[in-house]
Structure 1
């Protein structure tokens, strides 16, 4: 089962990572984080179906932070390519997307991306707050 959401900024994205890392009973297979100019796309893939209670709780949590997302075809292809084992670097080049993290939910990938992006610009855009 996959959950795909759009979040407004990096702080919300980090909250999702913290939540996933603390919820040991969720069968998380992977988490993909893609940065876009106007926000963040998060895909959480589960190893199997969640119980109705887990599904409801997870959807409620995610709906508080963001909105369910229906990606354009280019982003769908990028997400599919990552799932089939293509490297994030190849996917970024082919589909012109910023893959920040793919695999286990990892706070350090997001923080490193935010820091490097901000240093390169000289200021912090709203989506990186």
Structure 2
């Protein structure tokens, strides 16, 4: 089962990662975090189906932070390529997406991307707040 959500900024993305690491006892197979110009896309793939209560609670949590997202064909292909084990750098190059993390994301992955991006721009866009 997949949960693909669009979040507006880095703080919300970090909350999802923190929730999955610290609070949720969910059968997570992997998490993919992608930065886009207008926000972040987070995909959470489960190892096994969630119970109705787990699914409802997790969906409610994600809906508080963002909205369910239907990716375009290019992003779908990039997500599929990651799932099949293709190298992250190759997927980024081929599909022109900024993959911040794939697998078991860490706070440091997202923070490092955020700081490096801001440093390169010289200011902090709203999506990186």
Q: Which runs of 5+ in 2 are unaligned?
A: none
Partner of 1:93: 93
1:105 Cα offset (Å): 2.8
Unaligned runs of 5+ in 1: none
CA distance in structure 2 between the aligned counterparts of 1:75 and 1:111, rounded to whole angstroms: 23
Q: Quick check: 1:118 aligned with 2:118?
A: yes
Q: How far, CA to CA, are the matches of 2:105 and 2:97 in structure 1?
A: 19
Q: 1:64-119: CA deviations, max 9, x gaps?
A: 00000000000000000000000110000000000000001311110000000000
What is the distance in 2 between the residues matched to 1:22 and 1:93?
33
Task: Please list, as runs of the form range in 1=range in 2, the aligned pairs for 1:1-129 lying within 5 A after superposition.
Answer: 1-129=1-129
TM-score (norm 2): 0.98
Task: State the alpha-carbon separation in 1 of the partners of residues 109 and 36 from structure 2.
Answer: 15
Runs of 4+ in 1 over 6 A off after TM superposition: none
Superposition TM-score, scaled by structure 1 size = 0.98
Aligned length: 129
In 2: Cα distance, 1:31 partner to 1:63 partner: 17
Distance in 2 separating the partners of 1:92 and 1:25: 31
Q: CA deviation at 1:24?
A: 4.9
Secondary structure at 2:54's aligned position in 1? Answer: helix
